[in-house]
Amino acid sequence: MFFLIMSHVHLVYHSGMETFWKKVSKIDNGCWEWIGTIKNGYGIFHLAGSKILAHRFSAWLAEILPDLDRNENRFVLHKCDNPRCVNPDHLFLGSQAENVRDCAAKGRLGGFIR
């Protein structure tokens, strides 16, 4: 039963892919900037009544992030320091500690799950 629910969720996410890439603008420095909703500097992707951080969705599509639903200890961080960027080549997976360190180093702590 649990497996069926998860499969359904993933099906919904996959159906959002087309919408997702329509809201991405590739800019000259190699970043793929989110042109949809922005909150706390991060892109927000609205899908099936859920709000998903756009760079996390991109990381999941690229299989950097194994699971969108249960990944509290996995944070998707930016190599390019551009929070709006969803280019999978600019994203990497880090722990919460690395996330906090990364934020602090860059002078922004938003309290928002990345």
Residues of this chain that interact with Zn ion (CB under 5 A) are: 31, 80, 82, 85, 87, 90
Phi/psi zone of residue 111: left (φ > 0), alpha (ψ -120 to 50 degrees), beta? Answer: left
Nearer to Zn ion, 52 or 85 (CB): 85
111's tokens: 């309290």
Element (H, E) at 44: strand 42-47
Nearer to Zn ion, 69 or 81 (CB): 81
Neighbours of 58 (CB within 10 A): 26
**CA atoms of 64 and 87, how far apart (whole Å):** 11
Smallest separation (angstroms) from Zn ion to the CB of 104: 20
Nearer to Zn ion, 87 or 99 (CB): 87
86's tokens: 């969803």
Nearer to Zn ion, 58 or 82 (CB): 82
Smallest separation (angstroms) from Zn ion to the CB of 80: 3
Contact 81, 106 (CB under 8 A): yes
